[in-house]
Amino acid sequence: MRRWRYFGYRLLLAVPVIFGILVLNFFLIRLAPGDAASVLAGESGAATPEYTELLRQKFGLDRPMPEQFIAYITAALRFDLGFSFRNDSPVLDLILERLGPTLLLMSTAFTMALALGTLLGLLAAVARNTWRDAAISVATLICYATPGFWLGLMLIVVFSLTLGWLPTSGFENIAEGYEGWERVQDIALHLVMPAMALGLFYLALYTRVMRASMLEQTGMDYVVTARAKGQTETRIMFGHMLRNAFLPVLTMAGVQAGNLIGGSIVVETVFGWPGVGTLAFTALQSRDLNLLLGIFFISACIVVAINLIVELLYVLLDPRIQA
C-alpha cells in the first residue's frame, strides 16, 4: 500500500520534470542560427527573401516567440508534436513508426548489460585474484576502452563479412517476407550485433561495479552472522550478498539509462537500424526543428520512464526506502 503511494508520488514528480524538458527544448533549439525555412529555401535553389518569408509564414515561424511557445506547449499537451514539412507527415507518426526498433534495441542492450554484468562481476568476485578474475578484468577493460561505433564496424567485419554468420545491417530481411516465428528469428539475428555494440560498454561498467560491491559485502557483519549460523558459502552468496551487492549496480544503471539513447544514435547509424536514432540524425542534418523537438521530447519521456522503473525496482528490492 505504502509502496504504491510512494510510487504515485514519484510519478507526480515526473510531471514538472517533463514540463521543464518541454520548455528547455523549445528555447535551446531556437538558439541555433538558421531555421527550417532558410534550409528549405536554400535547397530549392531559388532562395529569394520573399520565398523564404513565405515559407516562414506557412510554418508559423514569423510569429513572436511567446506565441510560438504557447502554441507548441498546448499542442504537446494534446500529444500533437507538430508537422514535419521535410518528411511531409506528422512528427508523432514518424517517431512512433521508429520507436519500436529503438526500444527493442535499447532494452535488449540494457538487459544484457545488466544481467551479464551482474553475473560476470559475481564470478570475478568469487574467484578473486585468480586467472578467471584476471581474464574478466582484462575483457572488461577492453570493452570499456573501445568506442561503440568502432566495435560495431569490427563486429560487422568479423561476423558478417568474414564469417558470414550475421546480417550486416537493417532490422529484418524484407525481401524474404518472413511471417510469425520465422520473422522473430530473423529480427533477433539482426539484433545481435547492434545490441552488443551498444551494450558492451555498460556490461563492462556493471561488471566492475558488481565486483567491487560484492567484495565490499564480503566484509560486512551480516555475512559473518550468516556464517555463524552455519549457512553454506554458496547460500550466503546468493541468499544474502547478491541482493545487497546489486543495489549500487542498479543505482548506476538507472542514472545511465539515458546515455543509451545517445549511444543508440551512433550504433543505429552504423548498422542501418531503422530507429529513432537514425531519424534524429537526419533531422539534425536537415534542421527539421519540429521533428527534432519531438524526438528530444519522446526520448526525455523514455528516460523519465526508465528512472521510474528503476525507482520501483529499488523500492521492491530495498525495504529501507520509503516515502
Partner 1 sequence: MSDIVLDIQDLTISLPKGADRPSAVTGMNLTLRAGEVTCLIGESGSGKSLAARAVLGLLPAPRVRVTSGRILFEGQNLATIAPRDMAKIRGARIGMIFQEPMTALNPLHRIGRQIEEVFRIHTTLGRAERRARVVKLLADVHLPDPEKIARSYPHQLSGGQRQRAMIAMALALEPKLLIADEPTTALDVTTQAQILHLIHELQREHGTAVLFITHDFGVVADIADQVAVLQKGVLVESGPRDAVLNEPQHPYTKALLAAVPRLVVPDRPATEPGLVVLEAIDVAKSYAARGLFVRGRATRALDHVSVQLHRGETLGLVGESGSGKSTLARAMTRLLGIDSGDIILEGEAITHLAPRAMRPHRRRIQMVFQDPYASLDPRQRVADIIAEGPIIHGVAAKEAQARARRLLGLVGLDPSAADRYPHEFSGGQRQRIGIARALALEPDVLVADEPVSALDVSVQAQVLDLLADIKAKLGISMLFVTHDLRVALLICDRIAVMRHGSIVEIGPAAQIFSAPSHPYTKALFDAVPGAAWSAHMPVPAE
Q: Residue 125 or 200: which CB sits closer to partner 1?
A: 125
Binding mask 224-263 toward partner 1 (x if CB under 8 A, else -) reads: xxxxxxxxx------xx--xx-------------------
Residue corresponding to grid cell 541468499: 239
Neighbours of 253 (CB within 10 A): 23
How far is it, in rounded angstroms, from Cα 203 to Cα 224?
30
Classified as helix, coil or strand, 178 is coil
Interface characters, 169-208, with partner 1 (x: CB under 8 A): ----------------------------------------
Residue 213 contacts partner 1 per CB under 8 A: no
Which position has the grid cell 556490461?
203
Of 78 and 320, which has the nearer Cβ to partner 1?
320
Cβ 225 to partner 1 shortest distance, Å: 5
Binder to partner 1 among 177, 221, 234, 285 (CB under 8 A)? 221
Q: Compare residues 80 and 318 and give the one whose CB is closer to partner 1.
A: 318
Q: Which of 124, 105, 272 is nearest to 192 (CA)?
A: 105
Give the residue with the Cβ less far from partner 1, 250 or 260. Answer: 250
* Cα dihedral 78, 80, 81, 83 in deg (nearest 10): -160
**What is the C-alpha separation between 15 and 321, in angstroms, rounded?**
22
**Whole-angstrom Cα Rg for the chain:** 24
Binding of residue 50 to partner 1 (CB under 8 A): no
Which positions lie near partner 1, rule CB under 8 A? 9, 12-13, 220-222, 224-232, 239-240, 243-244, 317-320, 323
